[in-house]
Amino acid sequence: MDRFNAVMERYFMPVAEVIAEQRHLKAIRDGIITTMPLLIIGSVFLIIAFPPIESWAAFMEPYVPTLTIPVDATFGIMGLVAAFSIAYNLGKSYEMDPLSSGVLSVAAFLIATPHSEEGNIPLNLMGSEGLFVAILIALFTVEVFRLMEKRDFVIRMPAGVPPSVWRAFTALIPGFVIVCMVWGVSLLLQTWFSLSLHEVVGAILREPLQAMGSSIWAALLAIFLIQLLWSAGIHGISVVASVMAPIWYSLADENQAAKVAGEELPNIVGQQFMAIWIAVGGSGMILALTILFVLRARSRHLKSLGKMTIWSSFFNISEPVIFGAPIVMNPIMIVPFILAPMAVGAFTYIVMALDLVGRPYAVVPWTTPAPFSGWLTTGDWRGAVLMIANILLAMAIYYPFFRAWDRKLAEEEVVDEETVEGTDAGSSVKM
């Protein structure tokens, strides 16, 4: 155990911590998370428009066009919101004016977006299709702004000028340069190659990354890394989502668009798959483990921990168990902690690929308890059954490791009690 902990602390944790704190990845992660309330609001209307009960769905069918207006207004501006929020968070990390950073990023993003023949901005490019362009534009905007501010290529106002005024003038020259650079690149691409920046980024980045990210192998690798990071005491989903969140949200948005259009859902892996299906009880399928604590533990430590944490596990909060059991740096429990969500992920993917259960299209809060989350994300009652089956699968994987650990803890508690009793008896004789 000591050797394992030493290897993790020496080689793995420093690298993971650097990735977790890298400012650009952190800004991307925090910026995309900003879109979550919009996606949940849109999903509420999506579930109402396409309810999981057939009779209700037939009743709601005439109202679908009206009910999907809020869906388009929320899912449909994911890229636009990300352009602002990523630049805002990155500018804030540099201690620059975050509001100016966000506003300039939005302007640059709109300039990079081609208009339709009627002069309208395509709504699809404001959503997930434009997400990767939004990320690149946001990072570019802040870095150019920062460089010009560092080189003092800005207008400085005298002391006493209101902050709102000097911020606007400080952003004036950098903003002009950013707008001209993005406009110039877009104009050159359109004139020479008849392409937009969105088409170039889509061909080079978005389409290959989405194709790779939607595979079961990419999902299993992501799950493995998330669980391994948690095993070292690092918030695994935060690190991995810094890289993968744009892909997962784009895949989720594709399913939403297909659902509204009445088409077959193209993706199994996406935001819902990673946040809901393989994290029942939180990272590591912890609900399965807390059920074992309550029902089968003999050691007082695990029995009492299970009674205290099972309620939070129902709402997918896993930290009390991960750090309280602990799972962190525990070689006995790290194996099932990694294996259980990977097995659940593979099983869920196979079942959905065989069309035995519907694919997820709605985004629900990550605290939605199972099995309701499985039903709501898929609109299929069999999703709830599959989620219960996943919990049972995770319990079966955890059980032999849990029994060995529980037995060890119970024996240690007996030894501690005998030691205490012996000490007390010795003290009484001495008196």
Same domain for 5 and 127? no
50 within domain boundaries: no
Same domain for 229 and 127? no
114 within domain boundaries: yes
Same domain for 208 and 222? no
180 within domain boundaries: yes
Burial 335-357 (b: 16+ CB within 10 A, else e): ebbbbbbbbbbebbbebbeeeeb
Same domain for 232 and 183? no
Same domain for 90 and 136? yes
Q: What is the DSSP letter of 122?
A: P
71 within domain boundaries: no
3-state class percentages of the chain: helix first, strand second, coil last, to nearest 5: 75, 0, 25
Chain CA centroid to CA 251, Å: 12
Separation of alpha carbons 185 and 181, rounded Å: 6
Same domain for 202 and 266? no
Same domain for 178 and 266? no
Same domain for 244 and 184? no
30 within domain boundaries: no
206 within domain boundaries: yes
Tell me how crowded residue 205 is: count the other CB atoms within 10 A of its CB: 16
Same domain for 96 and 137? yes
41 within domain boundaries: no
CB 231 within 8 A of CB 337: yes
Which of 177, 197, 213 is where one domain is finished? 213
Same domain for 134 and 200? yes
Which of 164, 181, 213 is where one domain is finished? 213
Helix ranges (H only) for 36-130 are: 36-49, 54-60, 64-75, 78-93, 98-112
Which of 187, 213, 239 is where one domain is finished? 213
Return per-residue pLDDT of the chain as tens, 431 residues: 556 556 656 656 666 666 667 888 889 888 888 888 888 888 888 888 888 777 787 888 888 889 888 988 888 888 999 999 999 999 999 989 899 999 999 999 999 998 877 778 888 888 888 888 999 999 999 999 999 988 888 877 776 667 767 777 888 899 999 999 999 999 999 888 888 888 888 888 777 878 878 899 999 999 998 998 888 777 788 778 877 888 898 898 889 888 988 889 999 999 899 989 999 998 899 999 999 999 999 998 899 988 988 988 889 888 888 888 888 878 888 899 999 999 999 999 999 999 999 999 988 888 889 999 999 899 899 999 999 999 999 999 999 999 988 898 888 877 766 565 555 545 554 54
Full domain range(s) for residue 371 = 1-23+217-431
Q: For residue 352, what pLDDT is reported? A: 95
Separation of alpha carbons 154 and 168, rounded Å: 10
Number of residues in the chain: 431
Same domain for 419 and 286? yes
CB 145 within 8 A of CB 95: no
Q: What is the DSSP letter of 94?
A: T
Same domain for 194 and 227? no
Report the number of distinct structural domains present in the chain: 2
Dihedral Cα 130, 134, 137, 138, nearest 10 deg: 180
CB 345 within 8 A of CB 277: yes
301 within domain boundaries: yes
Question: For residue 75, how many C-alpha atoms fall within 13 Å in the half-sphere facing its CB?
Answer: 29
